[in-house]
Amino acid sequence: MALELIGETESVSATAFPAITPPVDAPYVWQDCVVTLNSVARVVTQFELAIDNHLEARFSNSQTATDLYPTDRTVHLACTVPFTGDTTDLYGANTAGAAAGSLVFTNGAHALTFGLAQVQFADHSPVVAGKGEILLHLNGAAKKSGSTSELVVTNA
């Protein structure tokens, strides 16, 4: 996970570092994930979900930011799947055939869900480099569908 933060100000404390209680729940790991695209659970070798809130900082007569405001939000999903008869429906899932999807991490009684209303994948043909497995690299943008936001995150 890569996290980029922007803030208005920074405060440096002269006090001791606070005591932190370590979490008792195990972290989510790759094998906890089920990726569903077009209502079908998929075998995925890797994925990247990028969420950019396009934050802008305003500096009004100040050296530090006085306000932060989002100008837009883009959600990008890139994943690699084996190119087989089970995944041909994802090739060309662009404007006319955008795929709904989700990434669900389940760890015991906890679940983290990234729900995607529609993902439009650009048409990129798989490359046959030799006798090995043929992989389909999907790069798509999540879009809103009706009243459903492009991304809905649930952690329960």
User: Of the candidates 156, 83, 96, which has an alpha carbon nearest to the alpha carbon of residue 126?
Assistant: 83
Is residue 83 in a domain? yes
Taking 90 as the threshold, does the pLDDT of residue 10 lie above it?
A: no
Question: Residue 119 is part of a domain; what is its CATH number?
Answer: 2.30.110.20
Q: What pLDDT is stored for residue 104 in this prediction?
A: 96
Number of structural domains (the chain) is: 1
Structural domain that includes position 134: 30-57+75-155
How many helical (H) and strand (E) elements, i.e. helices and strands, does the chain have? 0, 10
pLDDT of residue 103: 95
Task: Specify if 48 maps to a domain.
Answer: yes
* 136 is a domain residue: yes
Asked whether residue 51 is assigned to any structural domain, the reply reads yes
In a domain, 66, yes or no: no
Q: Which residues contact 95 (CB under 8 A, 6 or more apart)?
A: 120
CA pseudo-torsion sign 31, 37, 39, 45: negative
> Tens of pLDDT along 93-116?
766 666 789 999 999 889 999 999
Residue 41 lies in a domain: yes
Work out the number of other CB atoms within 10 angstroms of the CB of residue 122.
11
pLDDT in tens, 14-62: 777 778 888 888 888 888 999 999 888 999 999 999 999 898 888 888 8
